[in-house]
Structure 1
Amino acid sequence: MKKLLLLLALFPLLTQAQNVKAKVGTGGSFFILNGGTPGVDELVKLQIRESGEVNWYLDGKDLFIRDGFFDAFGTGVLYKYDFMHIDGLNGRIGFNILNGFSDGSPGGENNLPLTSSVTLNGSIATKVRLLNGITTYTIQQDDHIMIIDKTTNTNTDMTLSPVTTSRGREYIFRRNGTSTGKIIVKPGLGEKLNGVVNGTATLASDNSTLNVVCGLDSWWVISQIDVQSAFDVRTASADYTPNKADKTILVDATSASFTVTLPGAAIVDAGKTYTIKRTNAGANTIIVDGNGSETIDGIASIRLNQRFDYLQLQSDGTNWMVISERISPSLVINPALPYAATAYDGTISSNGNGTINLPSAAAVLGGKIFTIKNSATAGNPILTVDPSGAETIDGLATWPVSRGLFVTIQSDGTNWIVIGQ
């Protein structure tokens, strides 16, 4: 029993005297953690790869490579000899050449000072990170180059690391992808970019690049290249959403009807223009539709009815405006009632019993003509033509159209007048 107790008492000494060995398989790594829970939110301090590569993550802290304690000056006082010291906060690397005296620096009053050093003017990180551009990303201390594949039409934020732990650091951003969503590079909340609190820089088009460096109290853009991959003329024959770089879109509905859905007016910025032109004849429809609840001159969508019809549209940052157009009046057959006629309709034919609501005579300007026909062949359905607000048709608040009859009306800029029935 006494021998067992003696062995247990000596066990810590025995284990301290042993070498610690770790073997990793091909492609494996040995990690020393700086905090967090392994496999959950761990923070890696040291990584030794099976290939022999060693990665040390400073995260604003200092790295010391020491040769231990020794009597540097023969006075009996033991000094800490820092063979190399990397200052993770200020980006400074120092080398001790065995000269100088104790400087009382944190970590021990007997530290020997670093007597040969260099201050880094750029980043010591060389990591290239590939990002999908779908979710926002907070940049890490060991990042250097971010290659972002942007495939969505929504904006994505890239948040820079804190200024206090990033002075002298450089980040390089490159955008790939022609979707309309922006990549917005911004500092942490309350910090500065280009000297402006909460300032931003934007990568808006394919092949764009951005370089930023961190100064004493702000991130600064030192280089920005916005490459527009100009698609001067693009063709579409199926549902399509224009890219930010598109200019003219030739649409062909020979095979089937389809919709051109505009990108968000705010996403592409105020002033962006598109020209959309129909190239085919035939009955298939081409609809140009605002994004979500956005409108085109106040209406949800516009049809390109005939060959060579076109729209030139411009974003005002909130909705889309028609700058110029050629729209042939459309034939609308048996729409769901009640039906709100648009300025782009011509003849509206219905066999139902209900109301055709006219746009404002003032909004469509003088000269606009509608023909409304009751195409029912049985029963006695009544189509009621209803002007906007207090406007009238030949002085009447509404105009009924009985089975088999029609009415043709024209705007005088204030009300509607009957020109045929």
Structure 2
Amino acid sequence: MSLLVKKDNADQRIVRLVLRLAAFAFGLGAALPGLAQSPGNFSSLSATGTATLNGDVLMCSGRPWIDVRCNGAVGDGSHDDTTAINATIAAAITNGWPVHFLGGTYKVTSAIAIDYAGRASDGFRLISEAATLDGRQIASGPVLRIQCGRGTPVSPTGCFYFKEEGSLFVKANTPDYAVVFGNADFSDAHNSAKIDHLIVNNASTAPTAGGCQFNFVLDSDIYAVCVAAGGGAGLAFEQTQFSRISGAGTAEGTGGRGVVLENGYNFSNTFFGLDMEVSPICLSITFNHNGLNTFVSPFLNCVTAVDATASTGNILINPNYGGATINFGPSSTGISVIGSGSRSPWIFPVAGSYTAAAIDDGINISSYNAPGPSMTVTLPTVASLNPGWTIGFATDNGKGMTVAAPSGAILAGGKSLASITLGAGNYEYLQLQSDGNNFRVVSATRNTRLINGFDPPPWPSNWLYPSTPGYAATLGDNGNILSSYNTTSGLAVTLPATTTLPTGWSIGFATDNGKSLSIQVNATSGGHIVWPGSRGAATTLALANTSQGAYEFLVLQYDGSGNFRVVDMTPATAQAIGTLGAGGITRWSFPSVSAYVAAVADNGGAVSSYNSPLPFLAVTLPPTNTIPMGWTMGFATDNGKSLAVQVNGGAGEKILVPADGGTSTSSISLATNQNYEYVALQFDGSNYRVVTATPQTLNLLGGLINAGSPPSSSPCTTNQMMHDSEYLYICTAPNAWKRVLIGGY
């Protein structure tokens, strides 16, 4: 053992006491020589023949360490300490000793190599008291190389417990990495390493110059600040796993990266508070086996914060972006973000389009600053995202937004879409989340859900008042109600093509201000309008235009199979389209024609002969295949004009009259020579039945007293009556007539 102690004339006795105690403790039986030198001179004492006294204690026994100065290292920044340091390291590895560097600058002219394969199971300790390894004269290769030799890539050497204690500074000017930990071919695996405080500066501006490279490091704890002026990387991790890493990384040259995860399998590492600045790219991940790493509160102050061209399941937690950041992560495959950190969770692009990236996880995009009327956002490819990746969209400032998926689909409400348009109006919102294969709608405002058909409205409730006579409905009218109020003389609505609609698409219609409203299907893939009694072939429909002229209402809903179904309507409209039968006569019409062809819309209506230009009105009933069972219509004579009703006859239908035991006929006439006669007919599914008639008309039809002279045993029903010019005949029992003479005046 060797001891080196500097003299202090003021405390000669204390020094003697310390040295005597030290000598006693290490078994030095001889008395110490006198300390007679003047201040600044040194004396030597050696238990092994090499010890010196130089104002401090120089440990060379290996217990607790062996100091590099024991083999001639000086640490003054000018003496070449390469050989001394490497010799000390070799001795330490052979004997299992820690190596100690006292504070100072140790000039080295070739690599300092630590190959601790000989201590693979019990490790190696390097203790530095803020020492500096100055290897700026090394033209290429690392200044410090740590390895565990004797292995191959197929059968790597497994070494444990390398430990760097204290602060160690390394200066370099090499086109390579200044510090290399492990072999680049992964022939050595370093387990449970501990890098306490490593600070590296590589002044080389070479394109490949970097700070520190870690190869095949597992279950380790690393704190390293590695800076390079070149275009390599500040910190490069090649097959680093299950480790905790802190510090900083910078590579200032063109293409430089602050931190890179590249070759091998870099996974399950946690990076705490990494400081990445000045480099063109802060964080680069280039190999698709680099996954499941967590970066906690990293500081990214580079033009491009993240460039991840291949990665899986890497997470940034509350990233802090510096003022130099322009591109947050145009290539950010496999990146998820938890907490927006210093980046605002809302962005307002000043362009008409925006291409989202994985780094936009958790961000909301608004159309507020779009230069045109709308903005288009393109989603990242699904393969570039981690499941659970989420993004939001909002419309503002009267500007719309369309979101397109270049791969996968947007899923919601039974729909699978390539793009989705947010609903009309401001403040519409949509949130999408990747499930690993597609994008799922996890939140959307009402209009956005309706316009894309993701869910049917609880009921049409958004009222619109078009002023044009024609209106072409679209997918976006889902949940709207169209009123005829503002039109000049009525509103004609054309429904959308069925191929554009989701199941459950619904729209309402209303008549207002005395204006009519009609509906027709689209000329292309229009389908049909169906309701009870429509027989599935209708392509048009008209709401009842009541004498009051307002407030008729009807709702259509698309059933997904090519039909628009009537799901609600007011009673008059229900009668007008033939859905209600014997609901009573509720409206009257006075056509200015002498011949009137009735239709399904006349259900529940009565027609009068009042305005006929001739002394009569002839009405033809509708074909029976166009009306529902229960269809009902009334007929009345007015203004001294007669009225007759006839069947269409296309199906052999008849008018059934309760007279003479029941008769059927193709036409009937109301009683003449008086006003206000009335009859009502109702369709029974095959024929028209007289269900109501005024007495004179009923009598004319034979329903009261018919003209005739029946024989006494001719067929009859009890109480049936007939008459001729002399007698009144009464059926007193079945098929039994009696008569009474009609007296004169």
TM-score by length of 1: 0.48
Higher relative contact order, structure no. (Cα contacts within 8 Å, ≥ 6 residues apart)? 1
TM-score by length of 2: 0.31
Between Structure 1 and Structure 2, the one with more helix by share is: 2
Larger radius of gyration: 2
